[in-house]
Amino acid sequence: MSLFEKRAVAAAIRTEEDFLAALKSDVEVIFLLYSSITTVGEHIKKIHDADKQAYIHMDFAEGIGKDRAGLAYIKSLGADGILTTKTSMIRPAKECGLITVQRFFIVDSHSIDTAADSIRIAKPDVVEIMPGIVCRKLKEFSGRVSGTPILAGGLIEFKEDVDNAIEAGAAAVSTANRELWNYK
The pLDDT of residue 2 is 62
Residue 45 Cα to chain centre, angstroms: 18
The pLDDT of residue 1 is 44
Q: Report whether the peptide linkage leading into residue 131 is cis, meaning its omega lies within 30 degrees of zero.
A: yes
Angle, alpha carbons 172-18-169 (nearest 5°): 10
The Cα 48–Cα 78 span in angstroms is 9
The pLDDT of residue 174 is 87
The structure's pTM equals 0.81
- Comparing 65-74, 84-93, 99-108, 145-154, which segment has the lowest mean pLDDT? 145-154
Angle, alpha carbons 145-59-177 (nearest 5°): 75
